[in-house]
Structure 1
Amino acid sequence: MRLMRVGPPGGERPVLGTAGGDHYDLAGLTPDIDPAFLAGDGIERAREALAEGRLPELAPADLEGQRIGAPVARPGAVLCIGQNYAAHAAESGAPAPGEPILFHKSPNTVVGPRDTVLIPRGSRKTDWEVELTVVVGRRARYLGEDDDPLAYVAGYAVGNDVSERAFQLETPGGQWSKGKSCETFNPLGPWLVTPDEIPDPQALRLRSWVNGEPRQDSSSADMVFGVAEIVRHLSQYLVLEPGDLVNTGTPQGVALSGRFPYLAAGDVMEMEIAGLGRHRSVCADA
């Protein structure tokens, strides 16, 4: 099952999609796909309503030309794992970490998968990062060895952890979030894809392009720490709430490597993860 939000910013409506390409209106079930919807067993209620034929079907014309918003509205937290692919750590000039590196992005960085990405004022080194994003579905704290961390996952989405490397690494004040929290720096979507469609989150191909030229091409199998390990680890240090996002790291092939130029106004980023969809973001000056 696939959940998405369509419409202008602040006026999106919730939509359920199927693997076969059919779409259904969720507005009679919930006003939005947000933390409250996820906390209230919204995904199961949507599944039941679909099976019982209680959701109005949408024609292609109902969605044609509409903006696609991020699939989760107003996440409470955007948690990110740094250097979680060994080759990316190496191109960043660092060894693979011994435990997950955590940093935060401001939740208001989250935008739709086709929204404009703004190059910040004073930026010299704005970079792209395709990432598998985990959407938390249940409150998770102190998960033990007998707990299944994936049972706390509502679904997965394509993320882009856009980063300004000078802000992040040259004048960070001891942390990375200055280079990660600029406006529009987390395109997300087009869908939240539920785990029944993604039986193994460690078997997904991730790719990115800039202006049509390939940049990243890897697999989530190459993560240093897999999704389950990340969720369990984070739950020892903070409480994961429904609707929280976890960006799980990016593979090699970013501008920080020195092999590619950084982004500029007019550049087009495309991000894709097998089974989760594709982004297309045009860059513009803030």
Structure 2
Amino acid sequence: MTDHSFLKPLPAAPQPDGVDDVTGLVSGTFGIGTFRDGDGSAFPGVVLPGGGVYSLAEEYRDTHAVFEDWARASNLANDVAAHQDRHAHDYRALTILPVLAHPNMLCAGSNYRQHVAEMMTFNKFNQDKRLADESDEQFFARNLREIDRRAREGMPYFWTGLHSSLCGANEDVPLPLVGEHPDWELEFGAIVGKTGRYVRPDEAGDLIAAYVMVNDIGTVDEFRRADVRFMYDWVSKHQPNFKPFGPFAVPKEFVDRNKVQIRLKVNGEIRQDWPISDMIFQPEQILSYASERIRLVPGDLLITGSPPGNGAMWGNAWLKPGDVMESEITYLGRQTNRIVAEETGGRTPTYGPFITEW
């Protein structure tokens, strides 16, 4: 295995007090999500520490309507949380659905300083940039300097995603027939509550309604292809259930981003454990950039990129059927996803893996 001993972890973010065992919410906060009780209809609900869930179905048809009316809906949610005078569902007995059913998805990439420097240092596609006799440690340090230049002089990067890849926080993730290196990427996300064009970064915080977590799973051997000049193709990031989303979104006023830590385990072993302070571009900068290029609308979902700790850095320990991922982000709850083989009814791919040599 490649020697990574010179890579130093960042200090963990200081953690808030009062994290609830049932939900992962911090005391005094609440989440908003989509749930189903038994065989009933899905409903938008407010989740409290301890596991009480209060339906908003009388006021809003779904969470899309909640975020489209965020100013009033957030006041209602605060009132529901304060008075708790509605029927309480038990969080542990509900089916947790994706927070939003069909958001526009903005998927940021190359956005954690350490992660990007590791990819630039160890991925084979970047080895032509290595100087003669340059060690991994020297190459890594030079790549960090390039990333810092990008932070000063460059701009954010995102692609758009497919909401058909979303699943609930505790759903199984089937591994598709195409792609041999399925990998995890637990990410801090933001849900938009307003629209705007040409929004400055110092104004863009006003666009954010709530924060949420998403695991941006992908088959990482399915990113580069040689039969088209562009060479990159991100469609395999959006296989079914490749985006566990939720369990709920937490209004931004409850989240101190200085205390947010991303943690993911596979089969009980820690794989990602990183503070979001290592982002190259903050959510406000990414949304400002986005506002120059697309029409942002309430309910848009921004995910802000993966910290280090992916499968390649663990000796190519890719996901396989039988694995269990346990994920948590400070303030934003927890996910548990079992990895299974996809049931295809005997059908097989026509085109199969990308052509990597042409």
TM over 0.5: yes
| 1:57 alignment partner in structure 2 | 87
Q: Find out whether 1:85 has 2:112 as its counterpart.
A: yes
TM-score of the two chains, using structure 1 as the length reference: 0.89
Q: Find out whether 1:225 has 2:281 as its counterpart.
A: yes
Aligned partner of residue 107 in structure 2, secondary structure: strand
Q: One-letter code of the match for 2:158?
A: L
Report 1:25-36 matches (<5 A): 25-34=55-64, 36=65
> Matched residues, percent identical?
28
Q: Find out whether 1:211 has 2:280 as its counterpart.
A: no
- TM-aligned CA deviation for residue 12 of structure 1: 1.8
Report 1:94-105 matches (<5 A): 95=143, 96=147, 97=150, 98-105=154-161
8 Å contact kept, 2:101–2:163: no
Aligned partner of residue 190 in structure 1, secondary structure: coil
Instruction: Quote the Cα distance in structure 1 between the aligned partners of 2:89 and 2:110.
Output: 43
Aligned partner of residue 143 in structure 1, secondary structure: coil
| 2:305 alignment partner in structure 1 | 249
Cα deviation code 1:194-220 (max 9, x no counterpart): 01211x335411111111111011101
| 1:67 alignment partner in structure 2 | 95
Aligned partner of residue 114 in structure 1, secondary structure: coil
- TM-aligned CA deviation for residue 262 of structure 1: 0.5
8 Å contact kept, 2:260–2:275: yes
Instruction: Quote the Cα distance in structure 2 between the aligned partners of 1:52 and 1:30.
Output: 19
Instruction: Quote the Cα distance in structure 2 between the aligned partners of 1:10 and 1:284.
Output: 27
Q: Find out whether 1:177 has 2:234 as its counterpart.
A: yes
Q: One-letter code of the match for 1:113?
A: A
8 Å contact kept, 1:127–1:165: yes
Instruction: Quote the Cα distance in structure 2 between the aligned partners of 1:135 and 1:264.
Output: 31
Q: 1:283 pairs with 329, 339, 342, which one?
A: 339
Aligned partner of residue 206 in structure 1, secondary structure: strand
- TM-aligned CA deviation for residue 179 of structure 1: 2.6
Instruction: Quote the Cα distance in structure 2 between the aligned partners of 1:148 and 1:268.
Output: 40
8 Å contact kept, 1:29–1:46: no
Larger radius of gyration between Structure 1 and Structure 2? 2
Cα deviation code 1:33-82 (max 9, x no counterpart): 11x3311235335236527858613043xx4432101112221x111111
Distance 1:155 1:52, change over 3 A: closer
Cα deviation code 1:166-188 (max 9, x no counterpart): 11235695334223111111101
Cα deviation code 1:231-269 (max 9, x no counterpart): 112111112111111110111000133534111111111
Instruction: Quote the Cα distance in structure 2 between the aligned partners of 1:157 and 1:107.
Output: 15
Instruction: Quote the Cα distance in structure 2 between the aligned partners of 1:242 and 1:262.
Output: 35
8 Å contact kept, 1:160–1:186: yes
Structure 1: gaps of 5 or more residues: none
Aligned partner of residue 4 in structure 1, secondary structure: strand
Q: Find out whether 1:111 has 2:167 as its counterpart.
A: yes
Give 1 or 2: higher strand fraction: 1
8 Å contact kept, 1:172–1:178: no
Distance 1:247 1:49, change over 3 A: same
Instruction: Quote the Cα distance in structure 1 between the aligned partners of 2:114 and 2:224.
Output: 19
Cα deviation code 1:92-151 (max 9, x no counterpart): 226435321212221111111001111111320100001001111111221036x52111
8 Å contact kept, 1:91–1:256: no
8 Å contact kept, 1:84–1:248: yes
CA RMSD of aligned residues (A): 2.4
Q: Find out whether 1:141 has 2:197 as its counterpart.
A: yes
Instruction: Quote the Cα distance in structure 1 between the aligned partners of 2:108 and 2:341.
Output: 27
Q: 1:153 pairs with 189, 208, 212, which one?
A: 208
Instruction: Quote the Cα distance in structure 1 between the aligned partners of 2:240 and 2:117.
Output: 28
Instruction: Quote the Cα distance in structure 2 between the aligned partners of 1:103 and 1:51.
Output: 36
Instruction: Quote the Cα distance in structure 1 between the aligned partners of 2:78 and 2:274.
Output: 36
Size of the aligned set, in residue pairs, is 280
Aligned partner of residue 248 in structure 2, secondary structure: strand
Q: Find out whether 1:197 has 2:225 as its counterpart.
A: no
8 Å contact kept, 1:26–1:55: no
